[in-house]
Amino acid sequence: MLADLPIQSGSGSLDKRVQLPDTARHELFELVANALPHWRDDRNRPEATAEPDLNDQLSAYLNDVCRKWDGWGGRLQFARESRDEVYKNRNIDVAVKPTEMIVIDDRTYNKYQMLFPIECKRLPTPETRDEREYVVTEERILGGIQRFKMGFHGADHAFAAMIGYVQKESFPHWLKQINGWIGDLAGVEPNWSSQDCLQPLKEPSSEDVYVLQSRHKRAGAGRRKEPITPLGDIELRHAWIKMN
């Protein structure tokens, strides 16, 4: 368990490094997913429907409650609109960062570095925008999965998360709809295939939250000035929270 992890201190240094297993991101994502209904039902939370407002509220809530999480107490921060580490002109909806030195899979992270990025989307997308925005958009690069596949978000990461604020319809409706959009892309776009479809990670533990998984091949982003370095696959975990 994360609560039992040792803290390793360097000799002659005040710097502490918390050693975490490779599965730490998955366990942290599950804590975030489990917190979603408690955030939604917080009696102090103002009514909101717009994505920026929801993201602000969620970040504030997670920054508060994560202090109580076993193994993570005082070690995390959830930063809003944090700059992507590779594409500085792009912002991450919610960046999960440590408050102290943390080592995962032999890589050290400090408070300025992301453990993983979180992209948040409303379901359905507001009527004035491309309805497929959770997946892809025709103009500009605003699609949630699209940004990760192209490396414009999280190019330095092999794991990321998405949160879906379900404001209408049901979980099965959105799973069918989103995988349908991906299937349509797979028929015409060379970088998309049926392997990009979302798969339920487990059945909903309640009617409030649905957790899914997807894996995506990345060829590397095409707008970098420096030579393109092919990117490895990225795993996405999705947590959908029923807001309606």
Beta bridge partners of 117: 95
- What percentage of the chain exceeds 70 in pLDDT? 88
What length is written for the chain?
Answer: 244
Mention every residue, 6+ apart, whose C-beta is less than 8 A from residue 153. 84, 87, 90, 92, 117, 119, 147, 160
SS3 39: helix
Helix (H) or strand (E) holding 56: helix 51-65
pLDDT band of 228, cuts 50, 70, 90: low
pLDDT band at 200, cuts 50/70/90? very high
* 139-148 per-position pLDDT tens digit: 777 889 999 9
Query: Does residue 89 surpass a pLDDT of 80?
Result: no
What's the pLDDT at 208?
A: 92
pTM of the predicted structure, to 2 decimals = 0.89
- pLDDT, tens digit (0-9, with 9 covering 90-100), for 19-73: 888 899 999 999 999 999 999 999 999 999 999 999 999 999 999 999 999 888 8
Closest by Cα among 57, 45, 64 to 94? 57
Q: Averaged over 10-16, what is the pLDDT?
A: 42
Q: What is the pLDDT of residues 101-155, one digit of tens each?
A: 999 988 899 999 999 999 999 999 999 999 999 999 987 778 899 999 988 888 8
Chain position carrying tokens 């979603």:
36
